[in-house]
Amino acid sequence: MTTGAIIMMLFGLGVTWGGAAVCLSIAMKHRVA
């Protein structure tokens, strides 16, 4: 894989799962329904 492809793969995984992780951490802090 080229560096460009690796960067884009990490970018995609970072935005999606990073975004989900941030949402999850906010949810864990407040714990409403």
Partner 1 sequence: MAQREQWGTRLGFILAAVGSAIGLGNIWRFPYMAYENGGGAFLIPYFFALITAGIPIIILEFGMGHKYKGSAPLTFAKIKKKWEWLGWWQVFVSFIISVYYVVVIAWALNYTLMSADLGWGSNPSDFFFKDFLALSSSPLSLGGIVWPIFIAALVIWFVTWLVLYSGVKRGIELANKIFMPVLFILLLIMLGRAVTLEGASEGLQWLFRPDFSAIMDYKVWTAAYGQIFFTLSICFAIMITYSSYLPDKSDINNNGMMTAFINCGFSMLAGIMVFGVLGHMALQQGVPVKDVVGSGVGLAFVTIPKAINLLPASGFFGFLFFLSLVFAGMSSMISITEACCSAVIDKFGWGRKKTATGFTLVGFLCSLIFMTNGGLLVLDIVDHFINNFGIVFAGLVEVVLVSWFFKLETVREHINGLSDFRIGMWWNFCLKVVTPIVLGYMAIANLIGDIQKSYGGYPMSALVMFGWCVVLGIIVLSVFLQTRKGSPQSA
Smallest gap from Cβ 3 to partner 1, in A, equals 10
Verify binding: residue 28, partner 1, rule CB under 8 A: no
Instruction: Show Cβ contacts of residue 1 under 8 Å, excluding neighbours closer than 6 positions.
Output: 9
Verify binding: residue 29, partner 1, rule CB under 8 A: yes
Verify binding: residue 1, partner 1, rule CB under 8 A: yes
Q: How far apart are CA 8 and CA 31, in angstroms?
A: 34
Residue 26 CA neighbour count, 13 Å, CB half: 6
Which residues lie near partner 1 (CB under 8 A)? 1-2, 4-9, 11-13, 15-17, 19-20, 23-24, 26-27, 29-30, 32-33
